[in-house]
Structure 1
Amino acid sequence: MDQHLHTAQQPLRLGTPQEDVFAGPSVESDMIESSLHSIQKFVPTDYASYTQEHYHFAGKKIIIQESIENYGTVVWPGATALCQYLEDHTEELNLEDAKILEIGAGPGLVSIVSSLLGAQVTATDLPDVLGNLQYNISKNTLECTAHLPEVKELVWGEDLDQKFPKSSFYYDYVLASDVVYHHYFLDKLLATMVYLSQPGTVVLWANKFRFSTDYEFLDKFKQAFDTTLLAEHSESSVKLFKGILKWD
Structure 2
Amino acid sequence: MALVPYVENSLPALSKLHNSSAQFRFANHDLRLAQDWKKLGVAAVVWDAAVVMCMYLELGKVEVKGKGAIELGAGTGLVGIVAALLGAKVTITDRQPALDFLSANVKANLPPDSQGSVVVSELTWGEGLERYPAGGFDLVLGADIVYLEDTFVPLLQTLEHLCSDTTVVLLACKIRYKRDTDFLSMLKERFRVEEVYYDKQRDIHIYKSWKPPHTRDL
Structure 2 unaligned residues grouped into runs of 5+: 7-17
Amino acid at match of 1:204: L
- 2:202 pairs with one of 213, 232, 236: 236
Mapping of 1:12-51 within 5 angstroms? 51=20
For the pair 1:214 / 2:180, whether they are aligned, the reply is yes
- 1:82 pairs with one of 45, 48, 53: 53
Structure 1 unaligned residues grouped into runs of 5+: 1-43
1:175 counterpart residue number: 141
For the pair 1:73 / 2:44, whether they are aligned, the reply is yes
2:166 counterpart residue number: 200
Judge conservation of contact 1:107–1:132 (CA < 8 Å) in 2.
yes
Q: In the TM superposition, what whole-angstrom CA distance separates every residue of 1:103-160 from its partner, at most 9, and x where no partner exists?
A: 1111100011001111100000000000110000011113152743100000100110
Output the CA distance in 1 between the equivalents of 2:127 and 2:209.
22
Judge conservation of contact 1:82–1:240 (CA < 8 Å) in 2.
yes
How many residue pairs were aligned?
198
State the secondary structure of the residue aligned to 2:164: coil
Q: In the TM superposition, what is the alpha-carbon distance from 1:177 to its structure 2 partner? A: 0.7
For the pair 1:118 / 2:84, whether they are aligned, the reply is no
Judge conservation of contact 1:51–1:67 (CA < 8 Å) in 2.
yes
Mapping of 1:41-190 within 5 angstroms? 51-69=20-38, 70-89=41-60, 92-145=61-114, 147-161=116-130, 163-166=131-134, 170-190=136-156
Instruction: Mark the structure with the bigger radius of gyration.
Output: 1
Q: In the TM superposition, what whole-angstrom CA distance separates every residue of 1:46-82 from its partner, at most 9, and x where no partner exists?
A: xxx6602101111111000011131111111111111
Output the CA distance in 2 between the equivalents of 1:148 and 1:120.
5
Q: In the TM superposition, what is the alpha-carbon distance from 1:199 to its structure 2 partner? A: 2.2
State the secondary structure of the residue aligned to 1:199: strand
Q: In the TM superposition, what is the alpha-carbon distance from 1:229 to its structure 2 partner? A: 0.8
TM-score (ref. length: structure 2):
0.85
Judge conservation of contact 1:141–1:148 (CA < 8 Å) in 2.
no
TM-score (ref. length: structure 1):
0.75
Q: Percent identity?
A: 32
